Amino acid sequence: MKDSLNKSRIFIASILIILLKSLFFFTRHIQEDALISWRVARNIIEYGVYGYNGIEKISASTTHLYVFVGVIFQSVFGEGNFIYPLLIFNTILLTIGIYWLGKLFFNSTNKIILFILFVSFLPPAIKMSILGMEFGMLFFFYIALIKYGFVERKNWAFIVMPILILWTRIDTCVFLGLLFIYDIVKQRKWNTALMIGGVLAVLSTIFFNWFYFGEIVNNTITSKKNNYSNPTLLERWAEFKYFGPNYFGIVKFPISIYNFSTIILFLISIICLIILNKKWKTKEADKSKVISFLFFFGVVKTIIFGTANSWFDWYYWIPQICLFLPIILIVLDSEKYRTLSIAYLIFLFVPLTSYQAVHSIATGHGEWNYARKIGLYLDSIEPNKENYIFLEPAGYIPYFSKLKVIDYVGLVDKRLTEENIVKNGKEVGFSNLINKAKPKYILEDFKPMFKGELADKTIYDDYELIKEFKINNVAKSDNPILDKIYKFKPSGRNFYLYKRKSTAK
């Protein structure tokens, strides 16, 4: 079929969609983990070492490739000015990925523009643009592999894209493994190029980790494995029943009672998928296999991470988009797509975008005007950046304080992992670490520090409370609308800052 697309119109529409979505930048909603990656990138610039605390090598970020991208952006734009250019870069890559995906399904200019608009403003797609993490780039790589490899059968894509994908996130082995299996089933033959790409991806990441860090997998994975408790099967099932249904929907509600609505949306999406596959099965087989694989990936990835009780939102952003796509496709593939698009705008687009706007405004306010200011306060009172602070999480506060950090999970410093807190318990593990590391500051959720439960009680004599930070002091505004949003969804928790006494030995 001849390409009848008006690419100029699509390009202009995409620019306008990016500009419209850029309004979310003003919420200053940036994920803590992005700041970890950016600090690792800064560490490379300042020390020439892939690490977090000076010259100590540690794979503190979950993504190697995005760290190197962060190095480029910080080098070009400077430490204080790189964030928004990087967010725009993420958004552009995400939008290109959505455009490529739209072209696989439609040969109509209007439908592709609407597809870009609808997908771009799904809550996870908004977060992939504004939260500063690597998922906009990852979605771009995923769709590039599907477009040029899975559909157009170009061997270079099967070899190159898996390397880029696995270097972006190591948990993308799920996507690559499922695509390999699915492709064999569909093609009824072995995909040698994809196998070579997968092997090169695994070997290159393992060799880099081994020769640079002396480890096979990233420290972030090792530390979570070692310092998070391992629930029983019954506990996993209980958590999955409570949290899991939320992650099969397009939004994650804070109260489990709303899981019912996400389940209904998921069932509707399955029905839409069945209808589309029946419609496309013979004449438009490529469309059918692409949407079937994406939906299959969304279901399997959600089940795998859900049963592992991995409830970090970002694990599910791309799967959530994949699970919702059949609903958008059924709207746009209809002969009455204009009427259905208006209905979609009213009943889904506006509510979903509004929900994410409220979430981002509240969360961005709490993180930027609360957590960031705690970091700036520490920066102002402690000129010696060689001193350590013991806290959780290792995001906003360490980034803006510029202090060296030990976090409660061991993501950015391996000494906590050495204390084996799962085996010894936090009371003993934290006590041992504090006695050995002697951090100058401890930032805690409780008063007294660690609820007075540390195994070594003498530590309490070594530290004094110097500052209290209360979330209620910032969860308010003179603007009545913002005040309602902040109170509806307060973001943050109380913090208590303890300082090591100068007389402590």
Q: What is the pLDDT of residue 1?
A: 43
From first to last of its 505 residues, what are the pLDDT tens digits of the chain? 445 789 999 999 999 999 999 999 999 999 999 999 999 999 999 999 999 999 999 999 889 999 999 999 999 999 989 999 999 999 999 999 999 999 999 999 999 999 999 999 999 999 999 999 999 999 999 999 999 999 999 999 999 999 999 999 999 999 999 999 999 999 999 999 999 999 999 999 999 999 999 998 888 888 887 777 777 788 888 888 777 777 888 877 665 556 777 888 899 999 999 999 999 987 788 999 999 999 999 999 999 998 888 888 999 999 999 999 999 999 999 999 999 999 999 999 999 999 999 999 999 998 998 999 999 999 999 999 999 999 998 889 999 999 999 999 899 998 888 887 767 788 999 999 999 999 999 999 988 899 999 999 999 999 999 999 998 888 888 889 998 888 777 778 899 999 999 855 4
Q: Is the pTM of this model over 0.85?
A: yes
The C-alpha angle with vertex 261 and arms to 258 and 264, in degrees rounded to 5, equals 150
What DSSP string runs through 373-396? HHHHHHHHH---TTSEEEES-SSH
Secondary structure in 3-state letters for 318-357: HHHHHHHHHHHHHHHCCCCHHHHHHHHHHHHHHHHHHHHH
Q: What is the pLDDT of residue 260?
A: 75
- Closest by alpha carbon to 444, among 397, 379, 376? 397
The conformation of residue 57, written as its DSSP 8-state character, comes to: B
3 state DSSP class of 407: strand
Tokens read off for 388: 């350590």
Angle, helices 192-208/173-187, rounded to nearest 10 degrees: 170
Residue 289 phi/psi, 5-degree rounding, is -70, -30
Tokens read off for 201: 């991806």
Q: Please, what is the end-to-end C-alpha distance for the chain in angstroms?
A: 78
Q: What is the pLDDT of residue 257?
A: 58
Q: What is the pLDDT of residue 476?
A: 86
Edge-first strand order for the sheet with 404-407 is 404-407, 388-391, 441-444, 495-500, 463-469
